[in-house]
A = this chain, B = another copy of it.
Amino acid sequence: MSPSPLEFTVVSEDESSAARLGRLQLPHGVVDTPAFLPVGTQGAVKAVTPEQVAGTGAQMILANTYHLALRPGSDVVREAGGLHEFTGWKGPILTDSGGYQVFSLGDLNKVDDDGVTFRSHLDGDEVRLTPRRCMEIQNDLGADIIMAFDECPPYPASREQVEAAVGRTSRWAELCREAHSREADQALFGIVQGGCFDDLREESARQLLELDFPGYAIGGVSVGEPPEDMRRVVEVTVPLLPPDRPRYLMGVGMPEDLVDMSLQGIDLFDCVVATRHARNAGLFTSKGVVKIRNSAWERDYNPLDDDCSCYTCREFSRSYLRHLYQRSEILGPILGTIHNLTWFQRLMSQLREAIAAGCGLEFRKSCREKGFFSDRPSAGD
């Protein structure tokens, strides 16, 4: 048997919560968990260089199978030598299954037991995605962690819809395990579906556990459900997952979610909020989100966040940042992204320290008191 491409060690467990401090060893490096993965949808974290991403403290990034399969095509990436070689990001990479994008972005034609047929959101071309094809693509891309192809139902969905999706997701997971051709250097995770139905989440988890994946994701969240539903899904699902395997909550979250869900035992997160907000002039600070276009900052020559030592906060003032955003200078989103990503990574690093010290709950309390979570602007603001 080939050596496992993934080694997960629970370094310590929080005494005040279900959180754990972990160490995830992957072919391209180590990831300290709980970890937040910046999103590089098309093989690039928007508005920053790989060098700048690494400078924020990020150890691992996510790239989207759906987008890369359409453009430039997974064969172009394979011929380059895989995503690491193609994108210049040296550390670990995770690719998602494409399931979420097929169901949310594509013009869906047909879901059957063998796969999904849809029209590309780029040019309307008909594309067929099956578990086998999904594995081929992700094997081409060559990420350290890859995801089994899943059916991700919309929100809201009927119990019947979700039940069918759970069944297909389990069968497809098995087919993916069979089709996965690079077991020695890519770790394949199963994705738990089940919508907001507790018993279906349980059924999905039980079926996937039989396939003995080296890690499990919770999917079908962050699809428009109320925050309390996402939280209940995590509460119900985490205890069903093996404690010695990494747990990945897909597409979450806001700073408050990162802390809360880590305390529930989640190890990996990805979310576009840090980078998307940066492009939309929403900058995270230890006193909440600053809308940097606001005229209040016109003559504010202080750094964006006194507690931050990122390049943006060391070198530039709120006044200059506001000017850049107001004038649509690309440098605005560049500096905003450097800051937001650094801010998220520092939050995770402080959280890990708190977990190591056994005081995760206290850390959450102090974040709340300081106002870390005081604003939750909508993603499109």
Contacts and interface: CB of A to CB of B under 8 A. Distances in A.
Interface of A: 42-51, 71-72, 76, 79-81, 86-88, 298-299, 301, 311, 315-317, 319-320, 322-324, 326-327, 329-331, 333-335
24 contacts: A42-B323, A42-B324, A42-B327, A42-B329, A44-B329, A45-B331, A46-B329, A47-B330, A47-B331, A47-B334, A48-B331, A49-B311, A49-B334, A71-B327, A76-B323, A80-B301, A80-B320, A81-B301, A86-B317, A87-B320, A88-B315, A88-B320, A330-B333, A334-B334
A320 B298 CA distance: 38
A71 B293 CA distance: 13
A82 to B, nearest CB: 12
B87 A44 contact: no
Contacts of A72: 298, 319, 322-323, 326
Given A42-B323, A71-B323, A323-B71, A88 B316 contact: yes
Nearest to A329: B44
Given A320-B86, A320-B87, A299 B79 contact: yes
A70 to B, nearest CB: 10
A333 to B, nearest CB: 7
A327 B64 CA distance: 14
A71 B328 CA distance: 12
A322 B324 CA distance: 27
B42 A80 contact: no
A330 B329 CA distance: 12
Given A49-B311, A80-B320, 5 more contacts: A42-B323, A44-B331, A51-B315, A80-B301, A330-B330
A46 B51 CA distance: 19
A319 B334 CA distance: 23
A330 B49 CA distance: 10
Given A323-B71, A334-B334, A76 B46 contact: no
A69 to B, nearest CB: 13
Contacts of A81: 301
Contacts of A299: 76, 79
A68 to B, nearest CB: 9
Contacts of A76: 298-299, 319, 323
Contacts of A43: 320, 323
A304 to B, nearest CB: 13
A199 to B, nearest CB: 42
Contacts of A42: 323-324, 327, 329
Nearest to A45: B331
Nearest to A89: B315
A49 B331 contact: yes
Nearest to A72: B323
A41 B270 CA distance: 36
A319 B44 contact: no
Question: Considering the complex of A and B, which 7 residue pairs feature the smallest CB-CB distances, nearest first?
Answer: A88-B315, A47-B330, A44-B331, A72-B323, A44-B329, A42-B327, A80-B301
A79 B334 CA distance: 24
A255 to B, nearest CB: 24
Contacts of A79: 299, 301
A38 to B, nearest CB: 13
Contacts of A334: 47-49, 330, 334
B49 A324 contact: no
A125 to B, nearest CB: 15
Nearest to A337: B330
A88 B313 CA distance: 11
